[in-house]
Amino acid sequence: MTYLVLKFLHVGSMFLGTALAIGPIALFVLILRTGDAAVTARAFRFAQPLSRAGGVCYGLGVVFGIATALNGGIDLAAPWLVTAYALLVGLIVANLSADRWMRRVHAAAATAVEQPGGQELEDWRRATGPLWSLVATITLTLALVFVMVVKPSAF
């Protein structure tokens, strides 16, 4: 494959992974804030499949990124690229953390539908963790895009 095709596949995979991460997390945070157990339970059953699809896209993006770098003569140990690796690891950790709280919310919402009056879903509705999870994901994504596009010489 040519450098341009590999670069397109890398960027496209990463954009799709980002769309499947940030969009749903933002939507799930908003749905959680409603406090509606039935809606939350229905919506959050899609969290795991969306998270897996995003993970697959990120994985493909990494593979295509390495292939692009090797095909284009880019030094895999370039400081800006090492910074991008670190940011990507942070993004993976943030997404895994989001996946964990979304599974817990789904379980709490399902329990609240079956046994109304419980406190667990209400505790999640008031929790700041999901919002901070979203902020971390957005911040790391923007930092990663900056490093990949600008390739700052300070790095």
For residue 77, being part of any structural domain is answered with: yes
pLDDT at 49: 94
For residue 133, being part of any structural domain is answered with: yes
**Closest to 125 measured CA to CA, from 115, 112, 136, 137:** 112
Cα–Cα separations (whole angstroms), residue 12 to 102, 143, 155:
26, 18, 25
In sequence order, what are the residues at sequence separation of 6 or more whose Cβ sits closer than 8 angstroms to the Cβ of residue 1? 9, 67, 71
For residue 155, being part of any structural domain is answered with: no
Indicate whether 155 pLDDT > 70: no
**Closest to 141 measured CA to CA, from 98, 111, 102:** 98
For residue 14, being part of any structural domain is answered with: yes
For residue 67, being part of any structural domain is answered with: yes
Per-residue pLDDT reduced to its tens digit, 12-68:
999 999 999 999 999 999 999 999 999 999 999 999 999 999 999 999 999 999 999
For residue 28, being part of any structural domain is answered with: yes
pLDDT at 116: 87
Query: For residue 134, what are the domain limits?
Result: 3-150
pLDDT at 5: 95
pLDDT at 154: 66
Record the pTM: 0.88
Tokens 């008031």 sit on residue: 126
For residue 129, being part of any structural domain is answered with: yes
What is the tally of structural domains in the chain? 1
Two tokens, residue 88: 């990507």
